[in-house]
Amino acid sequence: MDNAPQSVAERVEFLERVARELLRREYERLGPVSRAAQAMLYPSAGEEELTLRALGLWRE
């Protein structure tokens, strides 16, 4: 993999981008009803937090 991240900071940034993309895909898969329910329960939460909560992965 010639274009693989080389430094630790590049690797961390790459993994964060991958994680955000996976969360975005899961969030879309959850559907509007689940997203709306999470948004009503946690009105100040951002998209990533709502997705993690909907998936049961959110930690306080």
Domain ranges for the chain: 8-54
Cα–Cα distance, 33 to 41 (Å, whole number): 12
CA-angle at 27, arms to 43 and 35, nearest 5°: 40
pTM for this entry? 0.53
Residue for token pair 């993690």: 52
pLDDT digits (tens, 9 = 90+) for 12-30: 999 999 988 888 888 788 7
Token pair recorded at residue 3: 């274009």
pLDDT digits (tens, 9 = 90+) for 21-58: 888 888 788 777 777 888 888 889 888 888 788 778 88
Is the separation of the CB atoms in 46 and 54 below 8 Å? no
